Amino acid sequence: MKVITLLTDFGLKDPYVAQMKGVILSIAKDVEIVDISHEIYPQNVEQGAFLLYTSLPYFPKGSIHVAVVDPGVGTSRRGIIVDCKEGILVGPDNGLLLPAAKRWRSFKVYEIINKKYILDKITYTFHGRDVFAPIAAHIANGISLNDIGREIEDYVDFNLEFGKVCENRIEGKIFHIDRFGNLITNIEEDLIRRYIEYGEKIDIIIKGRKYRVKFLKSYGYSKEGEILLTIGGIGFLEISVNKGSAFKEIGANIGDRVTLVL
């Protein structure tokens, strides 16, 4: 049984995700569909690329990953398939898929050109259902990528910006906010552990405001309502509040800069 994952900015209020799943199941009978997230901020390609990048290592080899955060839908932007050693990515040619592909290092990119494998009626605003869902289903059924498209090298490239050291500080930004209100940054665990020990206090600056916080192993080592730093489950530095919401407490949002004063 093939695994097909879905990551979109569609949300779950509307029928869009269900329609994508319906198309997939109408074409490929023996698949398991797994939702990564449908709560990407609308049109935020960077956030979508980050969650795709951090999620794919946990799926079986050979999984097919459909990602749709597509502000250019209906324009001349191409649909692509990325063939990696560990799996296959399907989505728009806007850089969304590239950070995950580069994590697997060796990959080939194909432009989707064979209309035989997409829906007969293509809308200008819903290629997730009309193009990418049927393509993923046909790939799960064993259709060759060479039958679906042609290999290209002029795809849209994109690199995630990760945290970095600048003189006496670490500079980063917020990539994601989870349902608990944790502010998930682009600062990797390896970087933070080179400069800060667990239990150490450090000044952080967000939106021009300074906070004195502890770097701790987990939430339970802090007092209730206290702001803390910790390494989250996906391996990046998080700003959290024990039994609270850093999002509400600090008022920061995706894209806001974060400075750690060393």
CATH number of domain containing 209: 2.40.30.90
pLDDT bin (cut points 50, 70, 90) of residue 171 is very high
Same domain, 67 and 130: yes
pLDDT of residue 209: 97
Give the other-Cβ count within 10 Å of 88's Cβ: 24
pLDDT of residue 224: 97
Distance CA 184, CA 45 (A): 16
The residue-averaged pLDDT of 151-173 equals: 97
Q: Are residues 113 and 213 in the same domain?
A: no
**Sheet of strand 2-8: strand arrangement:** 31-37, 2-8, 63-68, 87-92, 79-84, 107-112, 149-152
Q: What is the pLDDT of residue 104?
A: 87
* Tens-place pLDDT, residues 1-54: 999 999 999 999 999 999 999 999 999 999 999 999 999 999 999 999 999 999
Distance from the first to the final alpha carbon of the chain:
50
Q: Average pLDDT over the chain, rounded to whole? A: 98
Q: Indicate if the pLDDT at residue 245 is higher than 90.
A: yes
Q: Please state the pTM of the whole predicted model.
A: 0.95
- Which residue range(s) make up the domain with 110? 2-152
Residue 177's DSSP bridge partners are 183
**Secondary structure class of 71 (helix, strand, coil):** coil
Cβ neighbours, 10 Å, residue 93: 22
Task: Round to whole Å and give the CA distance between 127 and 133.
Answer: 8
Final residue in a domain of this structure, among 119, 152, 185: 152
Q: Does residue 15 sit in the same domain as residue 137?
A: yes
pLDDT tens digit sequence for 117-156: 999 999 999 999 999 999 999 999 999 999 999 999 999 9
Contact call for residues 66 and 127 (beta carbons, < 8 A): no
